[in-house]
């Protein structure tokens, strides 16, 4: 009898354990020592952005696997209208959308709070994008009206599921305070479950997700900064999806492995080398021209590989609405000419520059190529290598004479030009974004293009802005870097992964693992 009871107990224990054993979990490996935060209005780093795509929604969304403005589709809003002059937009919300963790149903008040928060420099890293918003108001619990001070190019990208367009719970932000940074509450298919500093953050399925219960139960997002260790964890089966090195050798090696799918996706991150024109000797345009002359971005592309990289052709990424490459980029890698130019500028013995730089291997290796090119011209580039979070903090404190920065933004010239090259965005100012160069030569064109109703004239203004910035050598485009991710063939995202605004695969309710 005792044996029967023992056997029954064992069977019961097995039955209770089976749901846990049957859980579908995807393990994702990221090149980072830790996260910064999951607050979508402040998540700027490479490791933070993918998570926002799992947790949040916008009024509209980029289709999973796409970064095309033309195919934006309804998300938290079912429909919308705009006034003939483009200044008033009215959005009708879905009914019954629930926030994570019992924080109630989404209402217009949450949307108003979120968009106002996105435009607040104290609460958002993307506040400059929303400077044209005059008023956001709740018409009723399911209707939101946005009134603009001036027309903006494609208002919808500002309310999409990207950066400041992500909608958060007003109640959660107010209740959690600083804890919201790591426990942010959204409406997306997954929500934060457990955070282990410098190890991982785990997400669990939001069973109340308005598009349906996710097929996955969990996502474990692991921080493995060393490329070799991350690759080994992928090969051994510890992780199912891996953030890759941004070089061709990595892609080729991964593609050669059985049961592995490599996704090389857009939009490309444009890498710019920004010169702090407010500091000597970079306040001298002759010096900036000499530095540019010493750089050969073709060599950088050869180093990273043409599968993953292409030479930068302007200070706006290729393919963005308003991109123009009619102005020649200074460069060519002529060290002798660069030396002479420096001598003519009063620096016959060369110059020394300080650059704060991230320890992320893929970015550091390219910076070291640039360092070697400049050294041949008598330009000593001293790299102060710090972890990625410190890098982001210090360059925003204006602590670097030269800033190497890779970024993708909403695919429209206005956003890129405004954030990186408008005087309102100069780092260290109350309205700071990421203008590391202190460039202010194209303010008039950037502002005029934003409100120009004629598309042809608008594009001409954006082209002129790019021309002025390039000719003034505020920054040098190095290369456009595509994103490389690999996954086991057992992972099915549920869509064709061609592009991602979040720098990583958007794991949705349709994503599964066999």
CATH number at residue 384: 3.10.105.10
Clarify whether residues 303 and 444 are in a common domain: yes
User: How confident is the model at residue 20, as a pLDDT?
Assistant: 46
3-state secondary structure of 364: helix
Range of the domain at 125: 25-193+490-513
What contacts 24+ positions apart, CB below 8 Å, involve 107-111?
Answer: 107/138, 107/141, 107/142, 108/138, 108/139, 108/140, 108/141, 108/142, 108/143, 108/144, 109/138, 109/141, 109/170, 110/167, 110/168, 110/169, 110/170, 111/59, 111/76, 111/136, 111/138, 111/144, 111/167
* 418: its two tokens: 């405004």
Clarify whether residues 356 and 445 are in a common domain: yes
Q: Are 504 and 243 contacting, i.e. CB atoms less than 8 angstroms apart? A: yes
Clarify whether residues 437 and 507 are in a common domain: no
User: How confident is the model at residue 511, as a pLDDT?
Assistant: 98
Number of residues assigned to the chain: 514
User: How confident is the model at residue 453, as a pLDDT?
Assistant: 84
CA-nearest of 194, 202, 195, 118 to 159 is: 118
Clarify whether residues 305 and 421 are in a common domain: yes
User: How confident is the model at residue 22, as a pLDDT?
Assistant: 66
Name every residue whose Cβ is closer than 8 Å to that of residue 196 and which is 6 or more positions away in sequence.
none
Digit-by-digit pLDDT tens for the chain (514 residues) are 444 454 445 445 544 544 445 689 999 999 999 998 999 999 988 899 999 999 999 999 999 999 988 889 999 999 999 999 999 999 999 999 999 999 999 999 999 999 999 999 999 999 988 989 999 999 999 999 999 998 888 899 999 999 999 999 999 999 999 999 999 999 999 999 999 999 999 999 999 999 999 999 999 999 999 999 999 999 999 999 999 987 888 999 999 999 999 999 988 899 999 999 999 999 999 999 999 999 999 999 999 888 889 999 999 999 899 999 999 999 889 999 999 999 999 999 999 999 999 998 889 999 999 999 999 999 999 999 999 889 999 999 999 999 999 988 888 999 999 999 999 999 999 989 999 999 999 999 999 998 888 889 999 999 999 999 999 999 999 999 999 999 999 999 999 999 999 999 999 999 999 9
Phi, psi at 182, each rounded to 5° = -115, 0
User: How confident is the model at residue 154, as a pLDDT?
Assistant: 82
CA-nearest of 78, 34, 27 to 389 is: 34
227-to-230, 261, 361 alpha-carbon distances in Å? 5, 18, 8
Helices (H) and strands (E) in the chain, counts: 15, 19
pTM over the 0.75 mark: yes
Is residue 288 domain-resident? yes
| Plot region of 4 (φ>0 → left; ψ -120 to 50 → alpha; else → beta) | alpha
What interhelical angle do 443-451 and 455-471 show, nearest 10?
Answer: 160
E strand or H helix at 91: strand 88-93
Is residue 226 domain-resident? no
User: How confident is the model at residue 19, as a pLDDT?
Assistant: 47
Q: Are 21 and 13 contacting, i.e. CB atoms less than 8 angstroms apart? A: no
142-to-91, 106, 112, 159 alpha-carbon distances in Å? 8, 9, 11, 16
DSSP class of residue 154 equals T
CATH (domain of 54): 3.90.76.10
Chain-centroid distance of CA 274 in Å reads 18
| Plot region of 241 (φ>0 → left; ψ -120 to 50 → alpha; else → beta) | beta
* 65: its two tokens: 């696997």
DSSP class of residue 63 equals P
Chain-centroid distance of CA 42 in Å reads 11
Is residue 208 domain-resident? no
Name every residue whose Cβ is closer than 8 Å to that of residue 11 and which is 6 or more positions away in sequence.
none
Is residue 249 domain-resident? no
Strands 491-492 and 512-513 turn out to be antiparallel
Clarify whether residues 68 and 44 are in a common domain: yes
Is residue 365 domain-resident? yes
Clarify whether residues 290 and 420 are in a common domain: yes
Clarify whether residues 445 and 502 are in a common domain: no
Is residue 211 domain-resident? no
Q: How many domains does the chain have?
A: 2
The CB density around residue 241, as the number of other CB atoms within 10 Å, is: 26
Clarify whether residues 466 and 421 are in a common domain: yes
492-to-28, 489, 509 alpha-carbon distances in Å? 13, 7, 11
E strand or H helix at 60: strand 60-61
Is residue 398 domain-resident? yes
Task: Please work out, in degrees rounded to the nearest 5, the angle formed at the alpha carbon of residue 66 by the alpha carbons of 30 and 221.
Answer: 20
Task: Please work out, in degrees rounded to the nearest 5, the angle formed at the alpha carbon of residue 329 by the alpha carbons of 323 and 333.
Answer: 145
Clarify whether residues 101 and 139 are in a common domain: yes
User: How confident is the model at residue 12, as a pLDDT?
Assistant: 52
Clarify whether residues 154 and 281 are in a common domain: no
E strand or H helix at 309: strand 309-311
Q: Are 265 and 251 contacting, i.e. CB atoms less than 8 angstroms apart? A: no
Clarify whether residues 319 and 408 are in a common domain: yes
User: How confident is the model at residue 152, as a pLDDT?
Assistant: 87
Phi, psi at 65, each rounded to 5° = 90, 5
Is residue 468 domain-resident? yes
423-to-169, 192, 323, 446 alpha-carbon distances in Å? 33, 38, 20, 10
3-state secondary structure of 205: strand
The CB density around residue 199, as the number of other CB atoms within 10 Å, is: 12
3-state secondary structure of 486: strand
Clarify whether residues 291 and 161 are in a common domain: no
């Amino acid at each position: 009898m005792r044996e029967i009871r023992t056997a029954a107990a064992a069977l019961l224990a097995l039955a209770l354990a089976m749901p846990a054993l049957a859980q579908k979990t995807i393990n994702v490996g990221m090149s980072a020592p830790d996260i910064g935060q999951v607050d979508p209005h402040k998540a700027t780093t490479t490791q933070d952005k993918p998570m926002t795509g799992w947790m949040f929604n916008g009024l509209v969304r980029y289709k999973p696997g796409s970064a095309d403005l033309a195919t934006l589709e309804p998300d938290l809003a079912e429909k919308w209208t705009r006034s003939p002059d483009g200044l008033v937009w009215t959005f009708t919300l879905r009914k019954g959308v629930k926030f994570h963790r019992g924080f109630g149903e989404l209402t217009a008040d949450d949307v108003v709070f979120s968009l106002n928060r996105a435009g607040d420099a104290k609460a958002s890293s993307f506040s400059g994008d929303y400077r044209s918003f005059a008023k956001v108001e709740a018409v009723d619990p399911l209707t939101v009206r946005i009134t603009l001070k001036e027309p903006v190019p494609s208002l919808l990208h500002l309310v999409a599921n990207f950066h400041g367009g992500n909608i958060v719970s007003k109640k959660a932000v107010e209740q959690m305070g600083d804890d919201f940074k790591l426990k942010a509450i959204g409406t997306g298919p997954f929500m934060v479950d457990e955070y282990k500093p410098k190890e991982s953050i785990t997400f669990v399925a939001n069973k109340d997700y308005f598009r349906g219960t996710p097929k996955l139960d969990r996502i474990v997002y692991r921080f493995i900064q060393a490329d070799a260790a991350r690759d080994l964890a992928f090969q051994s089966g510890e992780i199912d999806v891996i953030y890759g090195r941004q070089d061709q050798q990595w892609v080729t090696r991964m593609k050669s492995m059985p049961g592995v799918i490599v996704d090389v996706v857009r939009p490309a991150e444009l890498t710019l080398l920004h010169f702090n024109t407010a500091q000597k000797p970079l306040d001298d345009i002759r010096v900036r021209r000499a530095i540019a002359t010493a750089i050969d971005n073709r060599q950088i592309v050869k180093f990273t590989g043409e599968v993953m990289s292409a030479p930068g052709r302007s200070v706006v990424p290729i393919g963005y609405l308003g991109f123009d490459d009619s102005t020649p980029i200074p460069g060519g890698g002529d060290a002798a000419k660069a030396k002479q130019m420096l001598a003519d500028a009063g620096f016959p013995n060369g110059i020394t520059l300080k650059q704060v730089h991230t320890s992320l291997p893929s970015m550091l290796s390219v910076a070291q190529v640039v360092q070697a090119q400049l050294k041949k011209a008598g330009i000593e580039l001293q790299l102060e290598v710090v972890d990625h979070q410190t890098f982001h903090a210090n360059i925003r404190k204006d602590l670097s004479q030269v800033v190497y920065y890779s970024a993708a933004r909403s695919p429209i010239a206005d956003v890129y030009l405004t954030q990186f090259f408008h005087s309102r965005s100069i780092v260290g100012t109350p309205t700071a974004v990421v203008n590391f160069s202190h460039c202010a030569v194209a303010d008039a064109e950037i502002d005029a293009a934003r409100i120009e109703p004629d598309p042809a004239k608008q594009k001409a203004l954006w082209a002129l802005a790019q021309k002025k910035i390039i000719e003034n050598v505020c920054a040098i485009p190095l290369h456009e870097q595509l994103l490389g991710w690999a996954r086991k063939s057992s992972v099915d995202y549920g869509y064709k992964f061609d592009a991602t605004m979040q720098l990583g695969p958007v794991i949705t309710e349709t994503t599964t693992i066999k």
